[in-house]
Amino acid sequence: MSNYNKITNTKVLVTGGAGFIGSNLCEDLLKTNNQVVCLDNFSTGRMENIQSFLDNKNFTLITGDIRSLDDCHKAMQGVQIVLQQAALGSVPRSLNDPITTNEVNVGGFLNVLVAARDAKVKRVVYAASSSTYGDSESLPKVEDIIGKPLSPYAVTKYVNELYAHVFGLNYGLDCIGLRYFNVYGRRQDPNGAYAAVIPKFTMQLMAHESPQINGDGTNSRDFTYIDNVIQMNNLAALTTNPEATGQIFNTAVGERADLNWMTRLLKKYLSEYDAEIAKIQTIHGSARLGDIPHSLASIEKAETLLGYKPTHTLENGLKEAVDWYWKNLK
């Protein structure tokens, strides 16, 4: 059992609740006797992520879109806490289709805030992004020092923070933003053009294919296991610290690993199931547009104001993720 306070006996809306992070939040909330409303349009969310919740009397699925204010109002009825996860992720997707990314991530986010304000919810905890740090080269990333965004996706996630601030200022809507750093773990989709690196490489290695790293592999990330993200959502939703409300928090581990090291760890853990995987060579392609070279979070603010203590480093998080993929997707 976790050693931090969890949301209990509360009506909670999870937007994007059929997605990777959203479905993990729904599952966690159902374990602690909450009424969970999931709003999802299934553009990137998947029915299999929430299939096991559908028979739970405390779970309500609303198939709808945050781009519809009516859908947002409907989903907010009687809700006390909103965990706003609905978004179109992926830097490359935003470069290919900036208009849809903006419609969902900015227009949709604004609808969520308006509906939350109208329903008088107690707090909105929303998914922000480490992409907001943009071209700022300082490491580790500290919440109040950001650069200029490097992609349409990053622009949209920064606009979310600005809107949340303005809604707090003008309407008294209590919002806390969580800047997620490279989240991975169970239920993360390994397929499709915009699949994240860890599930994609895992599936390739399980199929005895060589994973391709963009660039020389020295790019580094603060890879954050899903259980750390669940903890931060609970802490942000429940905090009574007046210094924490209206704030943005890095949601990460505070350690970075380069892609070469991460890939070596993946091979090590997978080869415990299949010894042949240890022999698979990694190949290198060209660097990717809009990518930041290094990402490392300071988690001091979250530790100080929210009492955050990450439970998973890359080593034990990746081990758990690999075990899940092997058992569920092999």
In a domain, 98, yes or no: yes
The domain of 174 spans 11-184+224-252+292-303
Contacts of 86 (CB under 8 A, 6+ apart): 15, 16, 19, 22, 39, 40, 41, 66, 104, 108, 112
Instruction: Determine whether 234 is exposed, middle or buried from the number of CB atoms within 10 Å of its CB (0-12, 13-18, 19+).
Output: buried
pLDDT, position 330: 76
Which has the closest alpha carbon to 157: 130, 194, 188?
130
Task: Flag whether 204 is in a domain.
Answer: no
Looking at residue 329, its pLDDT comes to: 84
pTM: 0.96
- Read off the pLDDT of each residue in 83-111 and give the average, rounded to a whole number: 96
Of 126, 153, 163, 308, the catalytic one is 153
**CA separation for the pair 155, 132 (Å, rounded):** 7
Interhelix angle 109-118/152-171, nearest 10 degrees: 20
Residue 103 has pLDDT above 70, yes or no: yes
Point out the least confidently predicted range of 58-67, 150-159, 256-265, 287-296.
287-296
- What is the reported pLDDT for 2? 66
> How many domains is the chain partitioned into structurally?
1
Convert the pLDDT of each residue in 112-144 to its tens digit: 999 999 999 999 999 999 999 998 989 999 999
Q: How much is the pLDDT for 290? A: 67
Determine, yes or no, domain membership for 49.
yes
HSE-CB of 204 using CA atoms within 13 angstroms: 20
Burial of 136 (0-12, 13-18, 19+ CB in 10 A): middle
Specify the pLDDT at position 24. Answer: 98
DSSP letter for each residue of 5-19 = ----S-EEEEETTTS
Residue 84's beta-bridge partner residues? 15, 126
pLDDT at 36: 98
133 falls within a domain: yes
Residue 14's DSSP bridge partners are: 38, 83
Other C-beta atoms closer than 10 Å to the C-beta of 72 total: 28
* Tokens coding 196: 């994240």
Q: In the predicted model, is pLDDT for residue 176 greater than 90?
A: yes
**For residue 293, what pLDDT is reported?**
82
Please indicate, yes or no, if residue 3 is contained in any of the structural domains.
no
Q: Does 153 participate in catalysis according to the annotation?
A: yes
Exposure string for 149-173, b = 16+ CB within 10 A, e = fewer: bbbbbbbbbbbbbebbeebbeeeeb
22-76 tens-digit pLDDT = 999 999 999 999 999 999 999 999 999 999 999 999 999 999 999 999 999 999 9
Residue partners of 108: CB distance under 8 A and separation at least 6: 65, 66, 67, 86, 87
Mean pLDDT of 90-104: 94
67 within a domain of the structure (yes/no): yes
194 pLDDT above the threshold of 80: no
Looking up residue 229, the CATH number of its domain turns out to be 3.40.50.720
In a domain, 279, yes or no: no
| pLDDT of the residue at 204 | 95
Where residue 291 falls among pLDDT bands split at 50, 70, 90? confident
Asked if residue 2 belongs to a domain, the reply is no
For the chain, give the mean pLDDT: 95
| Cα(327)–Cα(219) distance, integer angstroms | 30
The confidence band for 195, taking pLDDT boundaries of 50, 70 and 90, is: confident
42: left (phi over 0), alpha (psi -120 to 50) or beta: left
Each residue of 199-244: pLDDT tens digit?
999 999 999 999 999 999 999 999 999 999 999 999 999 999 999 9
pLDDT band at 90 (very low <50, low <70, confident <90, very high): confident
Average pLDDT score over residue span 78-90? 96
| Pick from 199, 163, 165: nearest CA to 89 | 199
